[in-house]
Chain A
Amino acid sequence: MTDVLDLPDVDDAWAWTAACEERGWGDGLPTVPPTEERVAAMLAALPPDLPHLGPLPPRGVTPTLRSVAANAVMAGCRPADLPVVLAALDAVQDEAYNLHGTLATTHPCAPMVLVSGPVCDALGINAGGNCLGQGTRANAVIGRALSLVLLHVGGARPGVLDRSTQGSPAKYTFCFGESDSPWESLAVRRGFGADEGVVSVMAAEPPHNVNDHGSTTGAEILLTVAGTMAQPGSNNVYVRGPHLLLLGPEHAATLHRDGWTPDTIRAHLWEHARIPVSHVSAGNRRQFVEWGVEPDGDAYTVSDAPENLHLAVAGGAGKHSAWIPSFGGTALVSRRVP
């Protein structure tokens, strides 16, 4: 069975966009037509030892390298971006990531892609200023390509099999780099080499900003972080699971100067990021019990273990960090970029 479609009269950009709309393709933004030539150029640049791709929920169709490359073209990828897209696609297929649940849920989670290692510089993946925002092609197209594969091949169409109540802007694209850190990088702490390109994925909410311009010590910064994390509307409160603290480099430098390490930061936040029982409604408390979650004394923890808080550094100048909660029923999964 051929995977080639002959679409007459769509050589014009407007006509192509209209043709995509008619077929239910795309994320609402214009795409690049995945011509046979462009897809061939993508595939020609692939390295050996590519990951095995399995069926994608909710539709259950197994993508081919050609269909993944077609979606990468549509997203605006360059051939060099495709291995990162494939590594991310492999990572979200790990059972622990819970792809089916994360795509079909009413929660607004999106597939977050954190890229570590030299591949960031090689591809121009932004780990610095505005790394979570617009303006960098690699960040924009790699995250978008993953979302398009899950939409087109997986069938996670908004309002149909993607049942998100409100969605989030992160569903368009959610990819950024890990910057130089005063500690070992997240990828190295997870067992990869410093010279390896690594993607780490998690079904995540968009970042929650942590603004702290006043604190001058690490302990003070962590007080603000703990307060930001201690909110009762997070999935992590009762579904539990992973969450990510993305420290801006200035906050990270202050913490490092004061002797904090990723492990001591996690332990401290585990003890101090607590949600008072009085901040949780009676109905929600009953639901938490159904999920097996009880308060620890007069407060709830923000997840089920300090190890579920992951920590990385990214961003530019300024006194901001971000807390990124997750769907809860997911995992932070890392894969080496081929």
Chain B
Amino acid sequence: MRIVDPTSGTAPEDTVAVVAAADGAAGALCGLSNSKPGAHDILAAIGRRLADDHGLGPNGLEAKPSAAVGADPALLDHLAAQYRLAVVAIGD
């Protein structure tokens, strides 16, 4: 049976790679909070454990301006330029 793919459409433009800054916090880990009450705490704890147990750091902590909207592309570009890895809190 020949069907029309219900998932089909025009794919978004390829993601543009952003070069991490050569100084400042570049090379570090970032926690990105969805700005809900529990997310900040758990990300801060994860950052401390990664630093203490694995020597990863310095670690940053950033947040979306509102839990009700997606992260703005400008925020993601900023994170990409400042950090090499981001941990996103998906719990509340």
Contacts and interface: CB of A to CB of B under 8 A. Distances in A.
Q: Specify whether A and B are partners.
A: yes
A34 B69 contact: no
A100 B70 contact: yes
B2 A5 contact: yes
Nearest to B69: A101
B12 interface: yes
A4 B70 contact: no
Contacts of B12: 55, 59-62
B4 A4 contact: yes
A7 interface: yes
A163 B1 CA distance: 34
Interface string B1-26: 11111111111100000000000000
8 contacts: A4-B5, A33-B1, A36-B3, A61-B12, A71-B6, A148-B6, A152-B6, A283-B37
Interface size class for chain B? 10 to 19
B69 A57 contact: no
A61 B10 contact: yes
B2 A39 contact: no
Contacts, number: 97
B92 A5 contact: no
B3 A58 contact: no
Contact of A100 (B11, B37, B69): B69
B74 interface: no
B2 A101 contact: no
Contacts of B9: 56, 61-64, 67, 153
Contacts of B70: 57-58, 100-101, 104
Interface string A250-291: 000000000000000000000000000000000100010000
Contact of A35 (B3, B10, B37): B3
The secondary structure that dominates the B interface is loop
A66 B5 CA distance: 9
Interface string B68-86: 1110000000000000000
A130 B4 CA distance: 34
Contacts of B4: 3-5, 34-36, 39, 66-67, 69-70
B90 A4 contact: no
Contacts of B6: 25, 34, 67, 70-71, 74, 148, 152-153
Nearest to B15: A60
Contacts of B66: 329
A287 B5 CA distance: 44
Interface in A1-55: 3-8, 10-11, 16, 25, 33-36, 39, 55
Given A4-B4, A36-B2, 9 more contacts: A6-B2, A34-B3, A58-B70, A61-B7, A61-B10, A61-B12, A62-B12, A100-B69, A153-B9
A34 to B, nearest CB: 5
B68 A67 contact: no
A81 to B, nearest CB: 16
B1 A11 contact: yes
